[in-house]
């Protein structure tokens, strides 16, 4: 996918990865808790894969990680 927002998707994915690791959770555990596949979770976090993610999934991730969405959207 080539998007004018590619860098933002990458940053959000990296923020998800960081927050997940801070909670000592695997991709599989997080994916299972929010109802998506581990592969999809991996694609969201991978900096070499531009994977759009729905707000529903973002909010579910935030709920499981007990963080506010603003943390994931911090781009700078």
Domain locations in the chain as residue ranges: 6-72
Instruction: Answer yes or no: are the C-beta atoms of 44 and 53 closer than 8 Å.
Output: yes
- pLDDT for the residue 4: 84
In the chain, which residues have pLDDT < 70? 1-2
Q: Could you tell me which CATH number the domain at 6-72 has?
A: 1.10.260.40
- pLDDT for the residue 11: 94
Q: Integer distance in angstroms from the first to the last C-alpha of the chain?
A: 22
- pLDDT for the residue 20: 98
Distance separating alpha carbons of residues 62 and 5, to the nearest angstrom? 21
- pTM, to two decimals: 0.91
Going by the DSSP 8-state scheme, the letter that residue 5 receives in this structure is T
- Residue 55: its H or E element: helix 55-65
Distance separating alpha carbons of residues 30 and 14, to the nearest angstrom? 15
């Amino acid at each position: 996918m080539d998007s004018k927002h590619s860098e933002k998707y990458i940053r959000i994915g990296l923020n998800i990865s960081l927050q997940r690791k801070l909670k000592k959770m695997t991709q599989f555990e997080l994916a299972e808790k929010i109802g998506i596949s581990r592969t999809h979770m991996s694609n969201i976090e991978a900096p070499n894969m531009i994977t759009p993610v729905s707000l529903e999934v973002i909010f579910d991730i935030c709920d499981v990680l007990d963080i506010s969405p603003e943390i994931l959207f911090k781009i700078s």
